[in-house]
A and B are shown apart, each in its own frame.
Chain A
Amino acid sequence: MNKQHFSIYTINMAILLLSCATMQAQNDSIPNKPKDSIRIQQKYGLRVGVDTGKIIRSFLDDDYTGFEVMADFRYSNRMYIAGELGIEEKNTVNDYLNVTTKGTYIKGGIDYNLYQNWLDMDNMVYTGFRLGASSFSHTLNSFQTYSTNQYWAPQLTSDASQDFNGLTAVWLELIVGIKAEIFKNLYLGLNVQLKALVTEKVPANFENIYIPGFNKTYDSSAIGAGYGYSISYRIPLYKKEKIVAPVN
């Protein structure tokens, strides 16, 4: 593929040089011909993929199960409309709490490619934003009362499971990442996400210690973080011609 374009490029360059040479020989009274340029075909399409990081973590981490599908659609040269859809189940266990969080989430937004590709290569170093929403529930499997005094140890332990259903959360995300075309139309990507919780439905006598898609919440702030590894395939739909200014 690259070879083919290299030859087109070479031919174009040759034509360009020739035209320059002929132009020099021409009289100024003849209006200048528009400068020649390189025309390349850019592929536009729908890219669909899965988060491999979540799949691998589901196998390695006993307390986590998750699956995410993602898609982006090239809107313009640098702009992609992107979104993710996922399902997660996470156990949060410490000395005093044992909680299972289950839920689904959806994220949508824009990716902007900062990387100037060489000709029609199609890699991305991108930044973007997402609006995310999750619907989830917690099951408090067990807890032990916290007391600084252990004169009457052990403290009350409850094994009666308690459900907190119908919870929702909405957040905003900033993303930076890369996507590289490793084979024709097949991409590997990784990204990190910085999240800010906009609104959440807090259960009575409990809190959202984990939100699917948002990940772990923090006591001190509404900020969260996440990462993703992706493998995705571009379904090519159409091509658009892009004119690259000639190299001087």
Chain B
Amino acid sequence: MKYLKPLLIATFFLVAFFVISCERDDICPESTQTTPKLVIQAYDAAVQENRKNIFGLRIQGIDNDNVLEGYNIITEDDLVLPLRTDATTTQYSLRKDTSINNNGTPEDASDDFFNGNEDIITITYTTEQVYVSRACGYKTIFNNVSLTIEPDSDNWILSRQTTSDNQTLENEQAALFNIYH
């Protein structure tokens, strides 16, 4: 009986100790808002209230060797673009009505090229590092975001509009720009 009290206390401590040491604080949960992506919505240039799908859309970053995942010749009116955190400019090639020309060699993919209308957009911004948690570390948020459509002889993106005055990209739920085509 004499030893019961210390034994109980010791047990309590041991349990508490293990509960704490087993807690996983080291994995950044997927639900956490970290570095946001830029959301752009596509609208109809003729009837500006209407959303309009872009057919055969293919998106690739300029200076990036890969197609943006999920945008390899698809039909979409919502563009979700990751921005470079190590630079203050990100450029994307948005190609519509894309088709693959295999250059007469269906077996060889290395000399394939794409047909369709390519427009290049330039997104400029300043970056700010915001602390999230010990597991996620810092995220980047983007301030003073602006989007320009690089003019060419046949732009399919006719205009763009910002959706708010405060062009800060802190979470990716809201679209920051509308494009009209």
Q: Hey, which chain B residues are within 8 Å of A145, CB to CB?
A: 35, 85, 129, 137-140
Contact A194 B16 (CB under 8 A): yes
Contact B25 A156 (CB under 8 A): no
Q: Hey, which chain A residues are within 8 Å of B83, CB to CB?
A: 152
Interface size on A, as a range, is 35 or more
Q: Main SS of the interface on chain B?
A: mixed
**Number of residue pairs spanning A and B whose beta carbons lie under 8 angstroms apart:** 114
Contact with A along B2-24 (1 / 0, CB 8 A): 10011001100110110011010
Give, as a whole number of angstroms, the nearest-CB distance from B114 to chain A: 18
Q: Hey, which chain A residues are within 8 Å of B130, CB to CB?
A: 205
Contact with B along A68-104 (1 / 0, CB 8 A): 0000000000000000000000001011110000000
Interface residues of B in 10-51 (CB under 8 A from A): 10, 13-14, 16-17, 20-21, 23, 25-26, 28, 30, 34-35, 37
Q: Does A10 contact B (CB under 8 A)?
A: no
Cα distance, A39 to B132, chains bound together (Å): 64
Sample of 15 more A-B contacts, CB < 8 Å, known A156-B85, A225-B16 = A96-B137, A143-B137, A145-B138, A146-B132, A147-B85, A148-B30, A151-B69, A152-B86, A155-B85, A156-B140, A157-B86, A218-B20, A218-B23, A219-B25, A219-B133
B interface residues with partner A (beta carbon < 8 Å): 2, 5-6, 9-10, 13-14, 16-17, 20-21, 23, 25-26, 28, 30, 34-35, 37, 61, 64, 66, 68-69, 82-86, 90, 127, 129-140
A interface residues with partner B (beta carbon < 8 Å): 92, 94-97, 114-116, 125, 127, 143-149, 151-152, 154-158, 174, 176, 192, 194, 205-207, 209, 218-220, 223-225
